[in-house]
């Protein structure tokens, strides 16, 4: 079942989501919800989906960066983004317990801000503690694009969106991203943004 993805402006996207109890996680409703979220993420398509994005203020997200998403991305971009396939994961009540001081900046989009993108700085590496779909504790150490996905989805569970962290001058629609900016190294994109600020 494909669920409706709510768009920016919906109050649920700006609220702190509530934690799930063990009995809720193991109940049939949550198991069904996880399957529907997985289907919705695949259909969108996206690499992550948080419960607030389907209108539910719950500390639940699913992620998967499938190999098929990477097959047409140039090798140098995959390398610069440290992007590799990530298997399907369920994150319940996640907390970032460590983040690197080193930050990296890339264009980022969101299913709840359809059709737009912007440069966003995030920690290059993070450690996340959470429960999985079986209510078992998990500790996830991630870097590169995987770390970015985790930070993006956990932001959603805390009422934040990438537009809260973006470089405002870089905000654009996806059509112009693909036309002018997509294949530029980030240092060059930054240089061009600085030039437009001066003109």
**CATH at 63:** 3.90.45.10
CB half-sphere exposure, 197, CA atoms < 13 A: 10
The answer as to whether 6 is a domain residue is no
Question: Is 5 inside a domain boundary?
Answer: no
Task: Kindly list the catalytic residues.
Answer: 153
Cβ 6 vs Cβ 13: under 8 Å: yes
Residues 36-72 pLDDT 10s: 999 999 999 999 999 999 999 999 999 999 988 888 8
| pLDDT at residue 77 in the model | 82
Number of domains present in the structure of the chain: 1
Per the domain annotation, does 1 fall within a domain? no
Q: In which domain, by residue range, is 168 found? A: 11-198
Q: What's the whole-number mean pLDDT along residues 181-195?
A: 85
pTM score: 0.94
* Structure tokens given for 81: 């983004």
């Amino acid at each position: 079942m494909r669920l409706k993805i709510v768009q920016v402006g919906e109050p649920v996207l700006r609220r702190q989501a509530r934690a799930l109890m063990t009995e809720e996680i193991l109940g049939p409703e949550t198991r069904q919800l996880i399957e529907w979220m997985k289907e919705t993420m695949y259909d969108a398509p996206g690499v992550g989906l948080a419960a607030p994005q389907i209108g539910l203020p719950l500390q639940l997200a699913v992620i998967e960066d499938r190999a098929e998403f990477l097959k047409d991305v140039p090798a140098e971009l995959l390398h610069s983004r440290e992007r590799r396939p990530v298997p399907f994961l369920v994150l319940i009540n996640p907390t970032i317990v460590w983040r690197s001081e080193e930050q990296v900046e890339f264009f980022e989009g969101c299913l709840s801000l359809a059709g737009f993108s912007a440069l966003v700085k995030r920690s290059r590496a993070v450690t996340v503690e959470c429960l999985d779909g079986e209510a078992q504790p998990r500790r996830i150490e991630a870097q590169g694009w995987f770390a970015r996905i985790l930070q993006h989805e956990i932001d959603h569970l805390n009422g934040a969106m990438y537009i809260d962290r973006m470089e405002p001058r870089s905000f654009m629609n996806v059509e112009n991203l693909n036309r002018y900016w997509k294949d530029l190294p980030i240092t060059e994109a930054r240089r061009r943004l600085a030039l437009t600020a001066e003109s």
